[in-house]
Copies of this chain bind each other. A is one copy, B any other.
């Protein structure tokens, strides 16, 4: 049995007034609309009795505002994005917004589908971690005047709202740290993509080498595809670390997932960290606690990224201005034992 939700009309009928009056009262516009005290009282009473709840869909249609955001991440099951989603949910809720979510899987088509679906559902704005090659999709949003903000990554070609970690800085500092700690041949494992966050991290890596007077060697860098990265990471590590002379003496990992997978392989192969290989990871992970040496890692400020993304989006929604703001969030390096040969193993 479908219980019909009570509408303004139902209340109006019960009280014996027009729906307009009910609407005025329930929206607290009794003064402006000069509603009589007696009627107002009755309406409120009946509304409470009938447990009236406004139909937000109807309101959305009326105002062209749904108080809904669309969140498009690469993969909600990735703890990194799940964490961002959690904070975004909270921030959105504080502002009376609800969140629709979807995973693009780093695929152009899925990304476009999600954007279309969300727009057709009249979301007020979008928070997007754009996939590689989606510039056209994003530009279309801009042309349509849809409020949106890119998160975690951006495009250098297009001016948009974006909130990203200072990736260059993060990686630069990480590599500098390794070099300061005596490593001579620091390598990197990154995703094979042109997305800015990856390019910036790679640039930071290279700049750190340059500023330290070390010439970059292309054999120090492995780029793995997003699809089946696990095998490729394993292969890359085997390439770096095979018996006939190690290609690198330290490694920075460019993402969360690469970090975890790399550590798994390093653990399985029995590589000694930090003696034989210095290591710095990107993002936190539970697994770090189990590695025999504590892991040095780059800690992004997820709270700040999410807060700023929501904040920036809200401004876009409210002002509808053409001004775009790029926000760069600093990260910190949490120092463990994995990045320094000179370390003394604690307890």
**Which A residues from 170 to 218 make CB contacts under 8 A with B?**
none
Segment touching B, from A14-22, A42-50, A115-123, A150-158: A115-123
**Which A residues from 130 to 166 make CB contacts under 8 A with B?**
143-145
Partner of A83, one of B77, B86, B119, B291: B77
> How many A residues touch the partner, as a band?
35 or more
Query: How far is the CB of A154 from the nearest CB of chain B, in Å?
Result: 22
- Using CB atoms, name the residue of chain B closest to A267: B290
- Residue A99 interfacial (CB < 8 Å): yes
Given A3-B145, A82-B79, also A54-B120 (CB < 8 A):
yes
Indicate if the CB atoms of B145 and A121 lie closer than 8 Å. no
Residues of B within 8 A of A53 (CB): 116, 119-120
Indicate if the CB atoms of B99 and A101 lie closer than 8 Å. yes
Residues of B within 8 A of A33 (CB): none
- Residue A287 interfacial (CB < 8 Å): yes
- Residue A289 interfacial (CB < 8 Å): yes
Residues of B within 8 A of A296 (CB): none
Complex Cα distance, B55 from A117, in Å, reads 10
Interface string of A55-69 (1 = CB under 8 A from B): 111101100001010
Instruction: Point out which of A66, A89, A320 has the most chain B C-beta atoms below 10 A from its C-beta.
Output: A89
Indicate if the CB atoms of B66 and A76 lie closer than 8 Å. no
- Subset of 18 A-B contacts with CB under 8 Å: A2-B320, A3-B144, A53-B116, A53-B119, A53-B120, A54-B120, A55-B61, A56-B122, A57-B66, A68-B100, A77-B86, A82-B85, A98-B100, A98-B118, A101-B101, A263-B290, A267-B290, A290-B290
